[in-house]
Amino acid sequence: MAIKLYGSPLSPPVRRVRLCLEEKGLDYEDITIDFSTGQNKKDPLISINPFGQVPGFEDGDLQLFESRAITRYIAHAYADKGTPLISDDPKKMAIIGLWLEIESLKFDIIARKLSYEILVNPLIGKAVDDALVEKGQAELAVVLDVYETRLANSKYLGGEDFSLADLHHIPIISNLMKTKVKALFEARPCVAAWAAMLLARPSWQKIIAA
Amino acid sequence: MAIKLYGSPLSPPVRRVRLCLEEKGLDYEDITIDFSTGQNKKDPLISINPFGQVPGFEDGDLQLFESRAITRYIAHAYADKGTPLISDDPKKMAIIGLWLEIESLKFDIIARKLSYEILVNPLIGKAVDDALVEKGQAELAVVLDVYETRLANSKYLGGEDFSLADLHHIPIISNLMKTKVKALFEARPCVAAWAAMLLARPSWQKIIAA
């Protein structure tokens, strides 16, 4: 099998890549990296990703890491398979590209911290920092207001069709919906409807059922 | 004139876009946004970027923000002009795309904080937080070690040719070279030679001479 995905089942960046592979209907080999035994700092992963993080990815002789670089590659290299996630038109792709940047630099930076603080800290015996959660929620509200305005005028972030820009949000939105941060989404009707559409996709349902 | 760039002369993200326009040899209209009078929260910028940040960008009827979304658009839409900054080959583009992500999520997040702390704080009457600078330098050293390994085997980050992945680093590297963080670059011969090549580009020389 040509495509290999090195990861951890619950890692949001790994799930982002898995979602992309599922939307494209591609076969791939799943290789679990056990961080507890330091597999992330050993071969084969460390030769793929010198930072020792997941996901790692191989497609034949191509080795990649960084989830968003991997999904962009898949979307371009397998443009003719499964769900179209990008556009050939430079202006349409520019708008998808804008929302890809907003996801990474405005949404995820805050959302990931909230998800980690509220969901992971209790699992590893650390107290939740309520002040940090409050600050994160206030910052996320500003971002979601911009999303609400966008989604009032556009079915998806990148335009009328589902794209990579929407897909990148799914794993973290799924996490946040298990927390009180859900209220920030529910308070914004267009954001709430968009999040519900994303979470209902068969690709995501398959991943969480696995 | 079709292309308009809304920005501030010294902003690294604005300079990133300007560099891309210069490498492509494109004409553009420069519109300075005065933050001191709140122009960033007023039209025309606020209609382009609801976050009220620079750069803002227009090309005919296309409105964009986020510097890296703008440069990707320019590189694709004007692929046949000036310096080629991307590749048509999906595997070559995947490697450029990987380093675009590393710049944004590993390098810039640390480098920008260091640049702000050391160069901007004294200008606005704030003390430099030495502990934060030390921590930032230690984090940047880890990233630059990965760069050193890459650049020992490849002339540029994305391959043998200069690409968008290199270009995105230039404004912040130029800032850091005015600080003690320069030593982290000088201690790594391949990184030092690469940084010198980037800063010597006529596009950058033109921008800093303006």
Cα angle B94, A98, A93; round to 5? 65
Residue A149 maps to a domain: yes
Name the more confident of A210 and A164: A164
Whether A93 sits inside 8 A of B76 (CB atoms) is: yes
User: Do B38 and B120 have their domain in common?
Assistant: no
Residues B70 and B95 in one domain: no
Whether residues B94 and A69 touch (CB distance < 8 A) is answered with yes
Q: Give me the pLDDT at residue B2, please.
A: 87
Choose the closest CB to B102 out of A66, A72, A106: A66
Instruction: State which of A44, A77, A110 marks the end of a domain.
Output: A77
Tens of pLDDT, residues A16-60: 999 999 999 999 999 999 999 999 999 999 999 999 999 999 999
Residues B73 and B98 in one domain: no
For A99, nearest residue in chain B (alpha carbons): B69
Task: Give the mean pLDDT of A89-99.
Answer: 97
Residues of A in contact with B101 (CB under 8 A): 66, 68-69
Q: What pLDDT, on the 0 to 100 scale, is given for residue A5?
A: 98
Q: Which of A76, A90, A98 sits opposite B90 (nearest CB)?
A: A76
B62 and B119 both lie in a single domain: no
Q: Is the pLDDT of residue A1 over 90?
A: no
- As a whole-number percent, the residues of chain A with pLDDT over 90 amount to 99
Q: Are residues B67 and B104 both part of a single domain?
A: no
Task: For residue A124, give the CATH number of its domain.
Answer: 1.20.1050.10
Closest to A98 (Cβ–Cβ): which among B65, B101, B105? B65
DSSP code per residue over B104-128: IIIIHHHHHHHHIIIIIGGGGT---
Whether the pLDDT of residue A145 is over 60: the answer is yes
- In angstroms, what separates the C-alpha of B5 from chain A's closest C-alpha? 16
3-class secondary structure, B62: strand
Instruction: Tell me how close the Cα of B142 comes to any Cα of chain A, in angstroms.
Output: 9
Does B130 fall in a domain?
A: yes
In the listed set B52, B77, B102, which residue is the last one of a domain according to the structure? B77
Instruction: Check residue B1 and give its pLDDT.
Output: 57
Does residue B146 sit in the same domain as residue B192?
A: yes
Q: Which of B61, B66, B67, B92 to mutate to test the interface with A (most CBs of A within 10 A)?
A: B66
* Residue A84 counted as domain residue: no
Six token digits for residue A61: 């002789």
> Mean pLDDT throughout A61-80?
98
Three-state DSSP class for B28?
coil
Residues B65 and B100 in one domain: no
Residue B71: per-residue pLDDT: 98
What pLDDT band is residue A2 in, cutting at 50, 70 and 90?
confident
pLDDT tens sequence for chain B (210 residues): 589 999 999 999 999 999 999 999 999 999 999 999 999 999 999 999 999 999 999 999 999 999 999 999 999 999 999 999 999 999 999 999 999 999 999 999 999 999 999 999 999 999 999 999 999 999 999 999 999 999 999 999 999 999 999 999 999 999 999 999 999 999 999 999 999 999 999 999 999 998
Would residue A82 count as lying in a domain? no
* Cβ–Cβ below 8 Å for A104 and B106: no
Q: Which pLDDT value is given to residue B56?
A: 98
Total domains present in chain B: 2
Do A105 and A72 belong together in one domain? no
Residue B18: domain span: 3-77
B97 near A CB under 8 A? yes
How many CA atoms does the CB half-sphere of A147 hold within 13 Å? 28
A69, A101, A102: residue with CB nearest B97: A69
DSSP B31: E
**Beta-bridge partner residues of B58:** B4, B63
Asked which of B15, B44, B77 is the last residue of a domain, the reply is B77
B85 is a domain residue:
no
Residue of chain B whose alpha carbon sits nearest to that of A79 = B90
Q: Is residue A83 part of a domain?
A: no
My answer on whether A49 and A128 are in the same domain is no
Question: What confidence tier does A93 reach under pLDDT thresholds 50, 70, 90?
Answer: very high
Residue among B69, B90, B105 minimizing CB distance to A97: B69
| Interface contact B94, partner A, CB < 8 A | yes
Looking at the structure, tell me whether residues A124 and A168 fall in a common domain. yes
In contact, B198 and B169? CB cutoff 8 Å: yes
Instruction: For residue A61, give the chain B residue with the closest CA.
Output: B91
In a domain, B82, yes or no: no
pLDDT of residue A210: 84
Structural domain includes residue B83:
no
- ipTM computed for the complex: 0.96
Same domain, B117 and B198: yes
Q: Domain of B38: which CATH number?
A: 3.40.30.10
Measured distance CA(A206)–CA(B78) in Å, rounded: 40
Are A72 and A98 in the same domain? no
Who contacts A96 (Cβ-Cβ below 8 Å, separation ≥6)? Answer: A86, A87, A157, A158, A159, A163, A164, A165
